[in-house]
Amino acid sequence: MKKFNFRKVLDGLTASSPGSGSSGGSNSGGGAGGGSMHPGGTAGVLREEIQETLTSEYFQICKTVRHGFPYQPTAMAFDPVQKILAIGTRTGAIRILGRPGVDCYCQHESGAAVLQLQFLINEGALVSASSDDTLHLWNLRQKRPAILHSLKFNRERITYCHLPFQSKWLYVGTERGNTHIVNIESFILSGYVIMWNKAIELSTKTHPGPVVHLSDSPRDEGKLLIGYENGTVVFWDLKSKRAELRVYYDEAIHSIDWHHEGKQFMCSHSDGSLTLWNLKSPSRPFQTTIPHGKSQREGRKSESCKPILKVEYKTCRNSEPFIIFSGGLSYDKACRRPSLTIMHGKAITVLEMDHPIVEFLTLCETPYPNEFQEPYAVAVLLEKDLIVVDLTQSNFPIFENPYPMDIHESPVTCTAYFADCPPDLILVLYSIGVKHKKQGYSNKEWPISGGAWNLGAQTYPEIIITGHADGSIKFWDASAVTLQMLYKLKTSKVFEKQKVGEGKQTCEIVEEDPFAIQMIYWCPESRIFCVSGVSAYVIIYKFSRHEITTEIVSLEVRLQYDVEDIITPEPETSPPFPDLSSQLPSSRSLSGSTNTVASEGVTKDSIPCLNVKTRPVRMPPGYQADLVIQLVWVDGEPPQQITSLAVSSAYGIVAFGNCNGLVVVDFIQKTVLLSMGTIDLYRSSDLYQRQPRSPRKNKQFIAGLTELNDSPVPLELERCKSPTSENRENSYNRSRSSSISSIDKDSKEAITALYFMESFARKNDSATSPCLFVGTSLGMVLVISLNIPSEDEQRITEPVIVLPSGTFLSLKGAVLTFSCMDRTGALMQPPYEVWRDPNNTDENEKIGRRKLVMNSSSSQETGDHQYTIICSEKQAKVFSLPSQTCLYVHNITETSFILQANVVIMCNSACLACFCANGHIMIMSLPSLRPMLDVNYLPLTDMRIARTFCFTNEGQALYLVSPTEIQRLTYSQEMCDNLQDMLGDLFTPIETPEAQNRGFLKGLFGGSGQTFDREELFGEASAGKASRSLAQHIPGPGSIEGMKGAAGGVMGELTRARIALDERGQRLGELEEKTAGMMTSAEAFSKHAHELMLKYKDKKWYQF
């Protein structure tokens, strides 16, 4: 714990040259420069000693949980006993889902796509097959799954895998048509191989193609069904090592499934047909159907349809079997959406999907393949969704999904994260949002209910807010590493729907998604919510429990960059502070703009991009629009997108800016207080020379704002240049809501950060007053003074006076964020108004006074009373106010730039958290700016990360890791230590269901499956060793230590023993080889000795 006496520090620096002191800047990785303390004068400096309690031991970077739909899914598997579901993706990720709270993410180091997943049912393990022809065995008996073994195939490509229930031998089919067998316990290849040329008839002259299906017979485990792509099916006898029967069909096979009795199997084909085969008559199909084909006359074959990619044939004890398949639609219905067809008896039901089907699985009651399957649900994995269909009801409703799989319902354009917010908010938002939930779900519980999860020690409420391309806002409960949607707000409802041909003025700004959300500002205490959109508008919402019907109030604002004021000495035609009484009628509009589309050849002027609804609008309980502010066209130039946004509920003021200037609006009186170009804010104190430029004519695009692809953006320039560089093509929007947009910075100075605070507007002020801190893209900080009537009655009638104070501070790079601390070092929260329902029917509550929480640091003593922390994309500075002395400077980076910075609370102390474009996450203590943490976490490979990365209190942060997933992380050592307790258990000890009694006759005539010994057949003693060049065994990182979290019981002990044996197996390998060599030598010696004995057995002694 280090104490700082700022008076002594400054006294010591007075005798030295500026910049000679150092605050311990870091140069690690990110090009960070040394931080230095520069005295700005000793008069009025804070005299109290501040104890900084944070040290580097408090910080550690760690990923916590991942929410959302797995991006680009490729495979799916289900454990019917444990009731957990696994999803593999194209990027090598695996998501394992169980009951709510049980959601695990793991990643293949190679990043190769997952081809297939197979659970070791009720064993707590999973096998994955990757596109790099590697098999992996995952241990699920720990909260963070780890790979125990890997097996890399060197000469063949894996196409299909099958693991029989309660077997330790995995069948692996390859692209060459061969079938190999892998021991799951040791992950070593057996010497038993089914070669394709042995499986097919010798007379066949063509290769059968890759193996597309493998399954053992439900009736006899000693028989293996092998399906080849060209339509050949082989029923292989494993004991006799020969084909018992072969089936040929002239259409390619996509999938096969058995009838549970093992006498019939069904195939799906590329012409949209289903064929049912009987083992007793394999010469031709027992039944052939094209479910969606039109029947032809004269008994001709039905017309071909699209391929049936997969079929499942599931039997029921008390009803007809279910035949479920994907695809197979007629070609003449090209516009039909992807579908899943359910055939039950004579009824055929087609379920149309919103996205293409990747995979589906039928969930059955029993894990045994030779029993009635009794299907109860179908899990359907789509390209962008996961749905589960209830098969127990005739209308096949879907289950309500408890996972946040719809984050990407509309592309996410911005995020906000609030930890330790008021505890009643989650319940309030949920109670409002639950009324708008969709209906018609199945009344049964979600069937994927495996695992176990308990609420951990971290119980403070957390809320995540996501803004979307369609103008919607979603509030999520993110408490205790879970995510559940609370409430959805549609901001587009305040605007008229655009008719075809009426979107021309919007297209000048954005090509699509005119309602896309750019920035979010939320005050949880007052429940004031504000958003800005790409079409240059700001909407202020107030929260109410009561429904109202009212007109939407709107303001239209002209914000122009007047370069003429620089080059001409003539006085301004319009003053920067127009008379409020003259401005009010023209700026306040209850009906929006009526002149929406300029005629051909007429310059567009004073036209907003969108039309606010003119009629009374019904607003349900929840967030209700209080005011819409729109920037309008000026002299044929479209309004520039908003780059910064801030709201003060205590002052009743909203401020926003762009590359043209700043707008300040009183949302209580619904008036514009200030609409001024950035240049005019400086008045006569402009520190930089600005050159005039021609008006902007080009369109403004929001590249990357609503993308759903994951293509990386080259960032060579971004890594070495600041967004304020003259030659930079793309720029970042710097605002407290961590939003990104394109800013024209050729010569304009954009407003990049805004902050309301009770502070000292001018140097050596004696008391605090309402202030607005304004940060620009050139690193300038301006303080604007707000004169606000104190009484409630006057606040409604008297005007608010807004004036630049003349205070200027400067930093290197665009300003990102502000914050204030009091003289004790405690973080000061901006003032706010305590929430009260604006539509309350209680008269006493309606006329009550506003309750304001000011958090003022004013004092009768002389001297400084406040620290102001300002962070830009290059450096951070700490000023003491009102003397405006710069106490600390820390040059955070020289070779890169900061994307996101926030002052956050950590262990009841404040610190500055920064995310750099070169991937570094840096934490600095306050107010001394001592580096606490600098970790190279994540290089910026996509604009999406920069747009959505945000820090919050209690060591939490998040970003959009893919277009469909949110990644949460922590920089708290305490949370890293407690993470294991917060995560769910994937495996829980469950007894495997007993097999049904087969009866005497079935046991007698039902085949030899019960006596089949795979160990005897596939083991090294009988099958020998496989070629070492065929596959390479790779030990996984999940050693026996990883089994410490395994469940107890016999199965857990067996698993531990298996892994221990495998670890010793490598050391015993050489000994086994030597032993085998000795055995061979002994056999040879015995053979020679026997031959010698036979040679001389009948000879007499004298014949030698």
Of the pLDDT bands very low, low, confident and very high (cuts 50, 70, 90), residue 1095 is confident
Distance from first CA to last CA of the chain, Å, rounded?
A: 99
* Model pLDDT for residues 544-576, shown as the tens digit of each residue: 999 999 999 999 999 876 654 443 334 333 344
Of the pLDDT bands very low, low, confident and very high (cuts 50, 70, 90), residue 848 is low
Nearest 5°: phi and psi at 828? Answer: -95, 125
DSSP E strand boundaries for 956-1025: 956-962, 965-972
State the average pLDDT for the chain. 81
Res. 910: pLDDT tops 80: yes
Q: What pLDDT shows up at residue 1020?
A: 80
The answer to whether residues 118 and 170 touch, using CB atoms and an 8 Å cutoff, is yes
* Model pLDDT for residues 140-161, shown as the tens digit of each residue: 999 899 999 999 999 899 999 9
Helix (H, G, I), strand (E, B) or coil at 140: coil
Could you tell me which of 7, 23, 175, 14 has the C-alpha nearest to residue 931? 23
Q: What pLDDT shows up at residue 741?
A: 37
Q: What pLDDT shows up at residue 703?
A: 42
Res. 285: pLDDT tops 70: yes
Q: What pLDDT shows up at residue 15?
A: 34
Judged by average pLDDT, the poorest of 352-366, 383-397, 1026-1040, 1070-1084 is 1070-1084
Quote the CA–CA distance of 759 and 743 in Å, as a whole number: 30
Res. 278: pLDDT tops 60: yes
Q: What pLDDT shows up at residue 806?
A: 86
Q: What pLDDT shows up at residue 1063?
A: 53
Nearest 5°: phi and psi at 1102? Answer: -85, -5
Of the pLDDT bands very low, low, confident and very high (cuts 50, 70, 90), residue 508 is low
The DSSP letter of residue 471 is S
Burial letters 615-648, b for 16+ CB under 10 A, else e: eebebebbbbbbbbbbbbbbeebbbbbbbbbbbb
The answer to whether residues 952 and 75 touch, using CB atoms and an 8 Å cutoff, is no
Judged by average pLDDT, the poorest of 601-605, 912-916, 959-963 is 601-605
Judged by average pLDDT, the poorest of 128-132, 288-292, 1071-1075 is 1071-1075
What does the pLDDT average to over 46-66? Answer: 84
DSSP H or E stretch at residue 770: strand 769-776
Quote the CA–CA distance of 312 and 326 in Å, as a whole number: 10
The angle subtended at Cα 263 by Cα 259 and Cα 267, nearest 5°, is 55
- Positive or negative CA dihedral for 823, 828, 831, 837? negative
Could you tell me which of 309, 313, 122 has the C-alpha nearest to residue 218? 313
Res. 733: pLDDT tops 90: no
Res. 1031: pLDDT tops 70: yes
What does the pLDDT average to over 271-283? Answer: 92
The answer to whether residues 150 and 160 touch, using CB atoms and an 8 Å cutoff, is no
Q: How many Cα neighbours within 13 Å face the side chain of 859?
A: 13
Q: What pLDDT shows up at residue 705?
A: 53
Q: What pLDDT shows up at residue 846?
A: 52
> For residues 1004 and 186, which has the higher predicted lDDT (pLDDT)?
186
Q: What is the dihedral of CA 713, 714, 719, 720, to 10 degrees?
A: -140
What does the pLDDT average to over 1090-1101? Answer: 68
Quote the CA–CA distance of 664 and 577 in Å, as a whole number: 11
Tokens 């929410």 belong to 67
Q: What pLDDT shows up at residue 271?
A: 92
Q: What pLDDT shows up at residue 940?
A: 72
* Model pLDDT for residues 209-265, shown as the tens digit of each residue: 999 999 999 999 999 999 999 999 999 999 999 999 999 999 999 999 999 999 999
Q: What pLDDT shows up at residue 486?
A: 94
Q: What pLDDT shows up at residue 206?
A: 87
Could you tell me which of 268, 883, 179, 541 has the C-alpha nearest to residue 277? 268
Of the pLDDT bands very low, low, confident and very high (cuts 50, 70, 90), residue 299 is low
Q: What pLDDT shows up at residue 22?
A: 36
Q: What pLDDT shows up at residue 528?
A: 96
Of the pLDDT bands very low, low, confident and very high (cuts 50, 70, 90), residue 752 is very high
> For residues 149 and 685, which has the higher predicted lDDT (pLDDT)?
149
What does the pLDDT average to over 93-97? Answer: 96
DSSP E strand boundaries for 978-1067: 1031-1035
Q: What pLDDT shows up at residue 1053?
A: 54
Instruction: Please spell the DSSP secondary structure of 837-876, one letter per residue.
Output: -TT---HHHHTPPP-EE------SSSS--EEEEEEESSEE
Both structure tokens of 223: 């028989």
Q: What pLDDT shows up at residue 113?
A: 97
Res. 368: pLDDT tops 60: yes
Q: What pLDDT shows up at residue 1100?
A: 57
Could you tell me which of 198, 283, 199, 278 has the C-alpha nearest to residue 247? 283
* Model pLDDT for residues 315-353, shown as the tens digit of each residue: 999 999 999 999 999 887 666 789 999 999 889 999 999
Q: What pLDDT shows up at residue 1098?
A: 66
Whole-number percent of the chain with pLDDT over 90: 59
What does the pLDDT average to over 464-488? Answer: 94
Q: What pLDDT shows up at residue 41?
A: 41
Res. 532: pLDDT tops 80: yes
Judged by average pLDDT, the poorest of 228-242, 294-308, 591-605 is 591-605
Residue type present at position 64? T
Res. 1001: pLDDT tops 50: no
Q: What pLDDT shows up at residue 522?
A: 96
Quote the CA–CA distance of 896 and 921 in Å, as a whole number: 12
- CA-derived radius of gyration, the chain: 36
Q: What pLDDT shows up at residue 847?
A: 53
Quote the CA–CA distance of 116 and 361 in Å, as a whole number: 13
Of 46-60, 107-121, 593-607, give the range with the top mean pLDDT.
Answer: 107-121
Whole-number percent of the chain with pLDDT over 70: 77
Instruction: Please spell the DSSP secondary structure of 208-256, one letter per residue.
Output: --SEEEEEE-SS-TTEEEEEETTSEEEEEETTTTEEEEEEE-SS-EEEE
Judged by average pLDDT, the poorest of 459-473, 484-498, 1000-1014, 1026-1040 is 1000-1014
Q: What pLDDT shows up at residue 684?
A: 39
Q: What pLDDT shows up at residue 865?
A: 81
Quote the CA–CA distance of 967 and 965 in Å, as a whole number: 6
Q: What pLDDT shows up at residue 552?
A: 94
Residue 719 burial class via C-beta count within 10 angstroms: exposed 0-12, middle 13-18, buried 19 and up? middle
Quote the CA–CA distance of 1067 and 494 in Å, as a whole number: 72
Quote the CA–CA distance of 725 and 934 in Å, as a whole number: 25
